[in-house]
């Protein structure tokens, strides 16, 4: 593939660190399969939806998830996100029953209750930082829904939130230490180790509490299901797998939804016309009732708003895969071991597939008859390893938006552009602040 010749190593590393988004725009001028080097590693970017589909959906067995294990991103080494092969398959089989539509819908009440608590805490006319409000809210929902644990922000919640922040800081492309292995004794690495140790201890405490609370063995939250999981092939989860999956779910299921909500509300605050259309739909479908799971399938415009927000600001903005065999993609030879990048943040705004790609226009998902390849949009990944929490997140986000929009008007009060930065997830560089006015 084109590159890396002509791309000096250092120049590359610096331009990725400074502005990964512009860097990818530049890569795309070389074609749809482009090799580049950053900090001594070689990557091959796949910049066409058909190649994304092939890797994620058509031939997932030949491209495994790549997790930068040597960089020590400890987000549950033995959990669903980080494992592969038969270990992953057994875990996915054991965990899937906790994510059926029927099961997810039983969490709706908790989602609405928690959103109402957040709404109750907002003072009319005050300014709130959406990112931290939603981070707390989605963490509370996740802990309550999946583990039946009340997360007190002053204790458990704080350790977990700190660990999520530490992981993001550690994986931030702007932070040069990201590219150094974890054993390098930088103060940042030592701090990270300490935070993650505290996090693991906290998670162990959560497990012990849950185990003693469920003496009847009938509780149906995710953690209880994990603790007693077994399948007809005799598969179970080991102690370490249970713990690492808790870590995985608390991490994968909280910042992501929180960011999608942050950007969605920011965009609604900026686009009065969209907010008005959404409110009209909410009034028609929900009226004076309390939002429930039964309303959600009817909220088509709300769905389009969230879809469009995640198009422009995909919380998971790039996926990594490693070729396990030699392959040919787009006419280029991809030797076994090649690390592939599949960048949502780039493909979601490719003008080959979207008209006015930079514009926030939810209508494009309702009445746009443009024929675009399916994987021009993949905020939840695709294929067998697609996001297991996708339905959970969609239900949660729709209900939260419904609760908040019925109660408040939002005026943007932060800088117009949040300057997303390439951390583990697409974090805003600064707080995204809005002024809330009770309706
Ligand atoms: C996997 C995005 C919410 C748990 C993924 C992947 C993406 C993603 C893109 C695939 C990664 C890859 O293929 O390399 C998102 C977004 C969310 C969200 C954008 C919210 C808007 C959640 C929630 C949960 C969750 C709420 C848990 C309740 C997971 C897990 C995996 C995963 C465990 C790994 C699945 C596997 O490998 O089998 N997510 N996610 N996510 N997600 Fe989510």
User: Over 334-363, what HEC string results?
Assistant: ECCCCEEEECHHHHCCCCCCCCCCCCCCCC
Q: What integer pLDDT is reported at residue 301 of this predicted model?
A: 98
Atom nearest to 138 CA in ligand 1: 26
Q: Based on the structure, what is the number of domains in the chain?
A: 1
Phi, psi (degrees; rounded to nearest 5) at 35? -95, 140
Residue 184 is assigned to a structural domain of this protein: yes
Atom nearest to 314 CA in ligand 1: 19
Give the chain's mean pLDDT.
84
SS3 content of the chain, % helix, strand, coil (to 5): 55, 10, 35
Residue 4 is assigned to a structural domain of this protein: no
Residue 2 is assigned to a structural domain of this protein: no
C-alpha 316 to ligand 1 mean position (Å): 8
Q: What integer pLDDT is reported at residue 204 of this predicted model?
A: 82
Is the distance from the beta carbon of residue 387 to the nearest atom of ligand 1 less than 6 Å?
yes
Residue 23 is assigned to a structural domain of this protein: yes
Query: Taking the CB of residue 396, how many other CB atoms lie within 10 A of it?
Result: 28
Residue 304 is assigned to a structural domain of this protein: yes
- What's CA 75's distance to the chain center, in Å? 13
Q: Are 390 and 380 in contact (CB under 8 A)?
A: yes
C-alpha 439 to ligand 1 mean position (Å): 34
Mean pLDDT over 191-208 rounds to: 78
Is the distance from the beta carbon of residue 80 to the nearest atom of ligand 1 less than 6 Å?
yes
Where does residue 24 fall: left (phi above 0), alpha (psi -120 to 50 degrees), or beta otherwise? alpha
Separation CA 280–CA 128 (nearest Å): 24
pLDDT band at 249 (very low <50, low <70, confident <90, very high): confident
Which ipTM score applies to this complex? 0.99
Is the distance from the beta carbon of residue 398 to the nearest atom of ligand 1 less than 6 Å?
no
**42-70, pLDDT tens digit by residue?**
889 999 999 999 999 999 999 998 876 65
Residue 92 is assigned to a structural domain of this protein: yes
Where does residue 419 fall: left (phi above 0), alpha (psi -120 to 50 degrees), or beta otherwise? left
Mean pLDDT over 397-407 rounds to: 97
Separation CA 204–CA 239 (nearest Å): 10
Q: What integer pLDDT is reported at residue 11 of this predicted model?
A: 46
Residue 361 is assigned to a structural domain of this protein: yes
Q: What integer pLDDT is reported at residue 71 of this predicted model?
A: 54
C-alpha 289 to ligand 1 mean position (Å): 31
Whether residue 7 is predicted with pLDDT greater than 60 in this model: the reply is no
DSSP 8-state secondary structure symbol assigned to residue 1: -
Domain containing 338: what range?
9-438
Whether residue 206 is predicted with pLDDT greater than 80 in this model: the reply is no
Ligand 1, atom 11: closest residue by C-alpha: 381
Ligand 1, atom 38: closest residue by C-alpha: 385
Residue 3 is assigned to a structural domain of this protein: no
Atom nearest to 56 CA in ligand 1: 13
**290-304, pLDDT tens digit by residue?**
999 999 999 999 999
The CATH number of residue 426's host domain is: 1.10.630.10
Mean pLDDT over 407-421 rounds to: 78
């Amino acid at each position: 593939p084109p590159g890396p010749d002509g791309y000096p190593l250092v120049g590359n590393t610096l331009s990725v660190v400074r502005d990964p988004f512009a860097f990818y725009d530049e890569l795309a001028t070389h074609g749809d399969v482009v090799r580049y080097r950053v900090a001594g590693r070689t990557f091959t970017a796949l910049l066409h939806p058909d190649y994304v589909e092939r890797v994620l959906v058509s031939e997932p067995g030949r491209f495994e998830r790549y997790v930068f294990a040597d960089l020590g991103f400890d987000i549950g080494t033995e959990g669903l996100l980080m494992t592969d092969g038969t270990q992953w398959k057994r875990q996915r089989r054991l965990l899937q029953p906790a994510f059926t539509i029927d099961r997810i819908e039983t969490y709706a009440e908790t989602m609405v209750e928690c959103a109402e608590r957040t709404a109750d805490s907002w003072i009319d006319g005050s300014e709130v930082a959406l990112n931290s409000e939603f981070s707390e809210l989605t963490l509370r929902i996740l802990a309550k829904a999946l583990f039946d644990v009340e997360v007190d922000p002053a204790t458990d919640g704080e350790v977990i939130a700190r660990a999520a922040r530490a992981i993001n800081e550690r994986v931030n492309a702007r932070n040069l230490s990201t590219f150094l292995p974890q054993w390098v004794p930088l103060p940042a690495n030592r701090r990270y180790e300490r935070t993650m140790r505290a996090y693991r201890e906290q998670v162990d405490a959560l497990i012990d509490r849950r185990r003693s609370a469920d003496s009847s063995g009938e509780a149906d939250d995710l953690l209880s299901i994990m603790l007693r999981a077994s399948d007809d092939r005799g598969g179970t989860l080991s102690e370490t797998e249970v713990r690492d999956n808790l870590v995985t779910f608390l991490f994968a299921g909280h910042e992501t939804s929180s960011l999608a909500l942050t950007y969605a509300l920011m965009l609604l605050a900026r686009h009065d016309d969209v907010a008005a259309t959404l409110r009209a739909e909410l009034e028609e479908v929900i009226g004076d009732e309390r939002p429930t799971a039964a309303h959600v399938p009817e909220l088509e415009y709300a769905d389009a708003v969230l879809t469009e927000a995640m198009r422009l600001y995909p919380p998971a903005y790039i996926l990594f895969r490693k070729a396990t065999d030699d392959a040919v993609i787009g006419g280029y030879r991809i030797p076994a071991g090649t690390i592939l990048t599949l960048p949502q943040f780039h493909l979601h705004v490719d003008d080959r597939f979207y008209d006015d790609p930079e514009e926030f226009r939810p209508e494009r998902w309702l009445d746009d008859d443009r024929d675009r390849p399916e994987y021009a949009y993949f905020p939840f990944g695709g294929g067998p390893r697609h996001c297991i929490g996708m339905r959970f997140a969609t239900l949660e986000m729709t209900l939260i938006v419904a609760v908040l929009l019925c109660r408040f008007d939002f005026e943007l009060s932060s800088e117009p552009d949040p300057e997303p930065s390439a951390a583990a997830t697409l974090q805003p560089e600064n707080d995204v602040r809005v002024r809330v006015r009770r309706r």
